[in-house]
Every structure is written in structure tokens, then in C-alpha cells.
Amino acid sequence: MAKLIDGKAISAAVRAEIKENTQKLIADTGVTPGLAVIIVGTDPASQVYVRNKRLACTEVGFYSEAYELPEETTQEELEALVDRLNADEKIHGILVQLPLPKHLDEHSILLRISPDKDVDAFHPYNVGRIMIGDYAFLPCTPAGVMELIRRSGIDCTGKECVVVGRSNIVGKPMAMLLLQANGTVTICHSRTRDLAEVTRRADILVVAIGKADFITGDMVKEGAVVIDVGMNRRADGKLTGDVDFASVEPVASYITPVPGGVGPMTITMLMQNTLTAAKNTLK
């Protein structure tokens, strides 16, 4: 039976540390970390994420601003807001909630955010810094996974690490962080031949594909650490991961549940990045 990696408990511990460090920063320097969150349109899931991000800011003692812009916002209006926030000293992190409505050019908006305030770490400048291992921020979800691994006492050194999924926000940076932690890393995707043959080699298996219960027990090596990034809604509205928990849990040594695994870490790492951004302004 696998040990459960409790993302809620680990997230609470990290947030408590962030809160303490924030109080210290304010006391020592008078600087309060500030996060601006921009949402365009009325996507209900995005609205929930934005609300949770603001609540997290309050919890750790940050200043926050939320911009809820109408669906018909133009590229120029959004760019003008980003420019204004780039110049605002109270704001250390800017987050544009994705996806943006189709008429807006997501890539050019992300490029517009100052790399120093890019707390999602999506700007090509920050992506490049991650490649060379000299970074200010890490993308929140992969950073959260690494925190779960580290705080569970798991050492990646020399381990076979398999990442399933190669998106820019999860799979690719995830692979880079496991590499920097001295894992031997393989990335799989939809064109991988014989996926199960590769996943069965993994000592540490990270799954981020967006397909409910896709990885089953027969695809996992006995004693593997299994991290499930997936978040899928079942027909009954329940949240489920990319890993079939029932068949994988008896085989794995550690496993993250969904919900309550990777999910809670993502916003926590956003708070961490905002604190780092605030501290970096003092350098």
C-alpha cells in the first residue's frame, strides 16, 4: 500500500513559512508583496481560480488587486493595463489568467509582462533561465511537484524519472526540474511508442496529460513514486486525476491523491514566487 503524499498538509506548511517570511520582510523593509490578477471574460473555472488566488494572498499577508475585465476587452486595453502594472511599485507579481478570449493574442500579452513580475514564469526570458538552472521563478505546478517530492523525503538522484505530457506549463519544465535534481529523465507524449513499457521503468512517474484515470496499475513499477498532476471532471462533477488511483495505489510506494495532491501546491508556489519577486526588488 502506498503512502499518501498529502498536498493539503504540505501546502499549509509552505504557506505558513511564506506568511512568516512576509511578516519579516514587512518588518525589516516596509515592503509588502503585491500580486495583481487579471481575468478577461466570465469563464466560471477561471473565476474560481482568481478568487482562490486572492484568498491565498490574504492568508499570507500580501497586498492584492484583481481586475475582472469584460469579454470584449481589446488587446490595446489589456496591454495598457499590463504596462501600468509593470510600472506600479506596489505590484511585484502580475498574473493573467489563461485562457484569454480567442480575439486576444495570449503570447504577446505574456511577453508584455515584465520578466521581473512574471510570477507564472511563462515569459521566454524566464523559461530560458530555467533551462540554464539560473532562475528567479519556477512555473507553479512543476515547482509544487518538486516541493511535494522533497518534503516527502524522496531523493531524485540517479532515479529513472518519467514525465508523461510535454506542455509548456507542466511537462517540459517538470522534466527540467527533475533533471536539475539529478534524475535520469524521459518525457513521453501522445506519439510515444509503447507508453506502458516506458512508464514501467519509472522510479518517479509524473503524469500530466488531462485524461481521466489513464495510467493504470499495470503501467507502474512496484514501489514507484506516482505524482498525478491531472485534473479532470467526471460526468458526475467529481474531480479525478490522470492516474487510476484504485489500481495504482497498491503498486506504488508514494502517490498523490486527486483532489488534495498537486492541486493545492500550485497557488502556494504562486505566493512563493510573489514573495521572491518582492524580495528581488530590494537587490
Please give the residue ranges that form the binding site for ligand NDP (CB under 6 A).
141, 164-167, 169-171, 188-192, 195, 208-211, 229-232, 262-263, 266
Q: What CA dihedral angle connects 112, 113, 118 and 121, to 10 degrees? A: -20
Measured from each CB, the residue nearest to ligand NDP is 167
Q: Return the sign of the alpha-carbon dihedral for residues 139, 140, 144, 150.
A: positive
What distance separates the 2 farthest-apart alpha carbons in the chain?
56
Distance between CA 2 and CA 152 in Å, rounded?
13
Residues identified as active-site:
53, 97, 120
CB-based contacts of 75, cutoff 8 Å, min separation 6: 103, 104, 105, 108, 109
Q: How far is the CB of 207 from ligand NDP (least distance, A)?
A: 8
Helix axes 171-180, 124-131, angle to 10 degrees: 30
Q: How far is the CB of 270 from ligand NDP (least distance, A)?
A: 10
Q: How far is the CB of 57 from ligand NDP (least distance, A)?
A: 17
Distance between CA 88 and CA 85 in Å, rounded?
5
Q: How far is the CB of 235 from ligand NDP (least distance, A)?
A: 16
Phi first, then psi: give them for residue 176, nearest 5 degrees: -65, -40
Neighbours of 260 (CB within 10 A): 16
For ligand NDP, which is the closer residue by CB, 25 or 140?
Answer: 140
For ligand NDP, which is the closer residue by CB, 213 or 249?
Answer: 213
Q: What CA dihedral angle connects 54, 58, 61 and 67, to 10 degrees? A: 30
